[in-house]
Structure 1
Amino acid sequence: MTPLLSAAVVFATGCLSLAILLNLFRLFRGPTAADRILALDTLVINAIAVIVLFGIAYATAAYFEAALLLAMVGFLGTVAYCKFLLRGDIVE
């Protein structure tokens, strides 16, 4: 890995760490359930970005497949939480 790419990965990891800390703050401190659902969805997106960074750093394709799977599961979880919040029931 080139020194410039290595520095970019380190910088991106620092930025994502800060974003995850702020998301955790909103998740635990959110005044409404909708705020907590949005924080959890954003936390999943940040976790996907961390997995992609690992894939770049270690130059393996397995991390990209894991990120894709987490994206699909995270989307379904967000839809289920929102449906529960709106209707009070997930399965009709």
Structure 2
Amino acid sequence: MRKTETFQDNKEIIAELKQKDSHFASIFDEHTQLDQQINHLEKDVIQHASREEEIEQMKRRKLHLKDEIYRVIEKNKPQTQH
């Protein structure tokens, strides 16, 4: 997988995996929710300062989920694509 590859680059396989793989759908949704929560907290300077450690934990979890998402995508790609 290219280093610059994004979810947008894989939207068809993501849509297919979300339909047929409930675990994938769950981790993808959790990743999306964490992304939204992190963005919200980082915009609120007061909350951001008081919840720095929680935000860092959320970011680590989000990164872990992203790695897992990309492993599943790569495993499910047709062999002819690179």
> Which of the two has greater helix per residue?
1
Q: TM-score, normalised by structure 2?
A: 0.49
Q: TM-score, normalised by structure 1?
A: 0.45
